Structure 1
Amino acid sequence: MPTRLLLDTDIGSDIDDAICLAYLLAKADCELLGITTVSGEPERRAMMASALCKLAGKHIPIYPGLADPLLVTSRQPQAPQADALARWPHETDFPRGEAIEFLRRTIRRYAGEVILLTIGPLTNIAVLFKTDPEIPSLLGGLVSMGGMFDPSRTRYWRGSRWEWNIYCDPHAAAIVYRAPVAIHRSIGLDVTTRVTMNAAEVRQRFRAPLLQPVLDFAEVWFQHAEKITFHDPLAATTLFDARICAFERGEVHVELHDPDAFAVTRWSPGVNGRHEVAVGVDAERFFAEYFGAFAS
């Protein structure tokens, strides 16, 4: 049976969201039920998702979600990679104000079967869980690219102790991590920072037709970066190959009260915990799985 999946994404900021979506569209055993976008300019983010779906020949429901975080100031008010959209056909008209209801309705329709993959700030998901408190228990799984659970493994990320998706809306993240999901799996900077590719290799290896708009979006990214870190695609591949990452169980707490550690994800290992965090990654296996999806 194909894996039934909902994707919540801030595509248009870091390039790895587009890389992730291309993989999911290419993956034969992935049934992508819908896409919701989050963070500044959610409609332009929806257009980027539409461009990839159109090229893949798939009619995936796309819903722009919430633009602003719950309490903090928006840290990514724009979707800069959408500037490359002119070269790729895409939809421009999307349902407005319906993203949360779409997620709620879809999860209830396929109760116990849907994997919710979050690769952006958790604003949409927090509001979903508060709107319908039963939803967490109806998920088949919740997988998030987010967090940093052992900063010593990454020697801190860009000088910080927090991870961007959590930092962009820490209050939403706290709500989601407190929700009664049977298992909430997180793939954080501890492992994602070990799967990277420099710009020259990206241009060489992104040959598949579905990766051509991604490469266009990446050129915007390469104006201020020399490489890509495959944060979000790594989270996605773990849904289809359980041996790519090793996980440990425990509890995740998002710090909201300590000003010196605001938005830090604190990790307490424990076999009875509701959370799983990635603690190891097989980078070679990841790249084989990722690019293999485009070869079939």
Structure 2
Amino acid sequence: MTDRPEASSHSTQATDPEHEVLLDTDIGSDVDDALALGVLLGSPEARLRGVTTVYGDTLLRARLAHRLAGLAGHDLTVVPGTRETLSGKEVWWAGHEGKAFPDLDTEPVHDGIAAERFLAENVLARPGAVDVMGIAPLANIARAIAYDTGFSSAVRTLYLMGGHFASDPKAEHNIVSDVTAARAVFDSGIPTVITGLEITTRVRIGRDGIEAIRAAGGYGEALAREIDAWTGFTGEGWSVPHDPITALSMLRPDLYETRNGTVTVDDEGHTWFHPDPSGPARLVVDADLEQVADEIVGRIVRASTGLPT
């Protein structure tokens, strides 16, 4: 039986942070996952207890996460997780993942434990004290819910980037990639804060922000290479920081307005919000997005330099 790996980190994070966090990510495709990791590492009010990767080549994703965190001075516990979707939908792969780092196979990861077990056991070790952040298709989190029936009630809060909550919604990637997993998560009753495309697409990290990150030491330079890979793929000269905006919904809730309710997902991956004062979901309906964008860049720079910004 494999012992549960404990997170370890040499960092400038506070001794007694407000948030103990597990991050579930498909880092390596859209650069916003890497930027969200930077926001968490640059936030003294959060301690990142571990990272799980999901969707596609999760070993490569795990090695990339460990490499990036190491450049910021953190030795994170990173667990490669579920490669396939629960729905059976084919995994989308951009093709540039990890190519900025040709020697990623040297990075140590914890592949002796299933990601769902890692998530469940770390949450159940401290019921009500650990937040989970999901910024990817939701197979790992859905499997953690199924792995132990106590997981759903033990999560402090689940923070999700996912969905598009408009009158004519689009099928957002994290949800439509695995509708089966998304339904399992939304049906679980976990207290959840959700940020959808109708909020995140209103923010851009433009050239000035990208260059500020690039200038912030080795970690910032590595993140900028990831930004370059993604903008080279999209042909756009900016980054839409979907996942960092979700991270800030945990770290700076005073910048966000939410509404309680429930969420359902149709067969095409469209998300629907149903207002209900007693519902377990809190949908972000507005935010001070200019301040959020400044916080994202500032916290990433702090993660790279170790200094206040």
Q: Report the equivalent of 1:259.
A: none
Please report the TM-score for the alignment, with normalisation by the length of structure 2. 0.86
Other structure's SS at 1:73 match: coil
Q: Is the 8 A contact 2:80 2:109 kept in 1?
A: no
Gaps of 5+ in 1: 257-261
Other structure's SS at 1:223 match: helix
Please report the TM-score for the alignment, with normalisation by the length of structure 1. 0.90
2:233 is equivalent to residue 217 of structure 1 = no
Deviates more, 1:11-20 or 1:21-30: 21-30
Distance in 2, Cα, partners of 1:245 & 1:236: 12
Q: Is the 8 A contact 1:41 1:78 kept in 2?
A: no
Deviates more, 1:107-116 or 1:51-60: 51-60
Deviation at 1:232, TM superposition (A): 0.2
Q: Is the 8 A contact 1:143 1:185 kept in 2?
A: yes
Q: 1:187 to 1:93 in 2, by over 3 A?
A: closer
Q: Report the equivalent of 2:286.
A: 280
Other structure's SS at 1:7 match: strand
Deviation at 1:92, TM superposition (A): 4.6
Q: Is the 8 A contact 1:44 1:79 kept in 2?
A: no
Match of 1:269 among 260, 264, 275: 275
Q: Report the equivalent of 2:150.
A: 134
Q: Is the 8 A contact 2:205 2:293 kept in 1?
A: no
Q: Report the equivalent of 1:245.
A: 256
Other structure's SS at 1:86 match: coil
Q: Is the 8 A contact 2:204 2:293 kept in 1?
A: no
Q: Report the equivalent of 1:229.
A: 240
Distance in 1, Cα, partners of 2:276 & 2:103: 50
Q: Which digits, 9 at most, give the CA deviation of each residue in 1:90-119, with x for residues without a partner?
A: 615541452111111100111110000000
Match of 2:177 among 162, 168, 172: 168
Q: 1:139 to 1:278 in 2, by over 3 A?
A: same
- What is the CA RMSD across the aligned residues, in angstroms? 1.8
Match of 1:16 among 32, 44, 47: 32
- The percent identity for this pair of structures is 29
Q: Which digits, 9 at most, give the CA deviation of each residue in 1:197-253, with x for residues without a partner?
A: 23x334322132232211111221121321211100000011111122211111100
Other structure's SS at 1:14 match: coil
Distance in 1, Cα, partners of 2:160 & 2:269: 16
Q: Which digits, 9 at most, give the CA deviation of each residue in 1:138-179, with x for residues without a partner?
A: 011111001111156xxx6xxxx2111001101100000000
Amino acid at match of 2:149: P
Q: Which digits, 9 at most, give the CA deviation of each residue in 1:110-138, with x for residues without a partner?
A: 11100000000000011110111210100
Amino acid at match of 1:216: R
Q: Report the equivalent of 1:197.
A: 205
Q: Report the equivalent of 1:38.
A: 54
Q: Report the equivalent of 1:68.
A: 84
Q: 1:243 to 1:87 in 2, by over 3 A?
A: farther
Deviation at 1:189, TM superposition (A): 0.5
Distance in 2, Cα, partners of 1:24 & 1:103: 18
2:192 is equivalent to residue 184 of structure 1 = yes
Q: Is the 8 A contact 1:119 1:232 kept in 2?
A: yes
Other structure's SS at 1:22 match: helix
Q: Is the 8 A contact 2:77 2:109 kept in 1?
A: no
Q: Is the 8 A contact 1:147 1:165 kept in 2?
A: yes
Match of 1:289 among 292, 295, 299: 295
Deviation at 1:80, TM superposition (A): 2.5
Gaps of 5+ in 2: 1-15
Distance in 1, Cα, partners of 2:210 & 2:295: 19
Q: Report the equivalent of 2:123.
A: 107
Q: Is the 8 A contact 1:43 1:94 kept in 2?
A: no
